[in-house]
């Protein structure tokens, strides 16, 4: 038993298992086939996005659902369509596909599935069109917006494949990439444990993942130090911006999508968080840094496990204490080794 082996057990417990990935993949294929067979939609190619494509997914909390993000790259010019137009058609085609139907959200169309009578899975279908459909290397645009809100509807430059490749290829394949993905999963699990309420109160996973890939340092057989290093990099991203009306010190964190990719200029992955929410994030990441360093410098291995359980919740199990010392206390030497006759 060692700290590293317990971290790996924790990773195995929280990561999305193969059967779930297979089930999500099957649901994706069924949806895609239904859309392709519709005469209401032009042809398209698909691309997986998000944690599914980046292999950093974790088991959801009880109140959450498994999800998969799928890019639909329509072979059409974005200037020939309103941003909401194809999203409405996708929604119409899938309206009665499940008990929950399809719902238009600002970045996507979501299809939710039941399991054991409750919402358990959802597939987010994201609509993209080309600047020039005759050139598949031309700029892609994502269709943003919801029905009935004209101000929300817009075309925005995007590079979904570039982002997936940036993260997947950002760390050398093998044990380095494996450790990187484990560390991202630990941070996602911590985030689920410490941020309650959902919405923009929760820092976006893509922000944490980007900071991790840009600042990852490999520590052989030492996930704790690799995790501490990333947490410190996140902590150092915050800058002071002043005081609130109640006198609270406020901080912000900003992170543009990689400049090497073809996204809209002046984007910021944390922009939806308020100053108060970003300050809460700072307070919690600083507490995480302190707690992880307490683990690092704790000399009692069993206490280390207890501290990690408090950080990550019960999925980081506290193994039974070693009983070697107890055995030693109860040991009575035989006459042949005692020096007595």
pLDDT in tens, 2-28: 999 999 999 999 998 767 778 888 888
242 touches 320 (CB < 8 A) = no
Task: Give which of 286, 264, 32 is closest to 154, Cα–Cα.
Answer: 264
Q: How confident is the model at residue 338 (pLDDT cuts 50, 70, 90)?
A: very low
The pLDDT assigned to 196 comes to 81
Long-range contacts formed by 283-291: CB under 8 A, 24+ apart: 284/194, 284/195, 285/231, 285/234, 285/235, 286/235, 288/190, 288/194, 288/231, 289/228, 289/231, 289/232, 289/235
- Looking at the chain, the domain(s) classified CATH 3.30.460.90 span 14-158
What is d(CA 127, CA 142) in angstroms, rounded to the nearest whole number? 6
Q: Which residue is associated with the tokens 């941020």?
A: 195
Report the relative pairing of strands 118-130 and 66-77 from DSSP bridges: parallel
pLDDT, the chain, mean: 90
Bridge partners for 70 per DSSP: 48, 125
Model confidence pLDDT, tens digit, residues 93-105: 998 888 888 999 9
* pLDDT confidence tier of residue 121, bands split at 50, 70 and 90: confident
Does position 295 have pLDDT exceeding 90, yes or no? yes
pLDDT at residue 108, as a whole number: 95
CB atoms within 10 A of CB 285: 24
Kindly report the pTM of this predicted structure. Answer: 0.89
Question: From CA 82, how far away is CA 155, in angstroms rounded?
Answer: 8
Gap between the Cα atoms of 251 and 281, Å rounded: 9
Residue 18: its pLDDT value, please? 65
Of 47 and 266, more confident: 47
Instruction: Write the CATH number of the domain with boundaries 14-158.
Output: 3.30.460.90
């Amino acid at each position: 038993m060692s700290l590293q082996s317990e971290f790996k057990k924790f990773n195995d417990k929280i990561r999305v298992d193969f059967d779930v990935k297979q089930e999500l993949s099957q649901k994706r294929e069924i949806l895609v086939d239904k859309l392709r067979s519709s005469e209401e939609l032009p042809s398209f190619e698909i691309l997986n996005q998000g944690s599914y494509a980046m292999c950093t997914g974790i088991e959801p909390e009880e109140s959450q659902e498994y999800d998969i993000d799928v890019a639909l790259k329509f072979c059409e010019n974005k200037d020939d369509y309103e941003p909401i137009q194809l999203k409405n058609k996708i929604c119409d085609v899938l309206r009665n596909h499940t008990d929950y139907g399809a719902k238009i959200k600002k970045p996507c169309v979501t299809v939710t599935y039941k399991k054991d009578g409750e919402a358990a899975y959802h597939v987010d279908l994201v609509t993209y069109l080309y600047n020039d459909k005759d050139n598949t290397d031309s700029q892609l645009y994502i269709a943003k917006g919801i029905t009935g809100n004209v101000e929300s509807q817009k075309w925005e430059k995007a590079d979904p494949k570039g982002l997936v490749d940036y993260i997947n290829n950002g760390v050398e394949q093998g044990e380095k990439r494996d450790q990187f993905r484990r560390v991202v999963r630990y941070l996602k699990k911590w985030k689920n444990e410490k941020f309650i309420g959902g919405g923009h109160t929760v820092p976006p996973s893509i922000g944490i993942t980007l900071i991790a890939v840009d600042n990852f340092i490999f520590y052989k057989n030492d996930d704790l130090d690799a995790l501490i290093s990333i947490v410190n990099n996140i902590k150092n991203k915050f800058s002071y911006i002043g005081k609130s009306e109640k006198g609270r010190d406020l901080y912000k964190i900003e992170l543009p999508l990689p400049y090497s990719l073809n996204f809209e200029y002046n984007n910021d992955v944390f922009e939806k968080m308020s100053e108060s929410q970003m300050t809460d994030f700072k307070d919690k990441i600083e507490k995480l840094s302190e707690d992880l360093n307490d683990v690092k410098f704790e000399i009692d291995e069993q206490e280390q496990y207890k501290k990690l359980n408090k950080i990550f919740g019960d999925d980081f199990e506290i193994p039974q204490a070693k009983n070697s010392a107890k055995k030693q206390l109860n040991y009575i030497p035989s006459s042949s080794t005692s020096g007595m006759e």
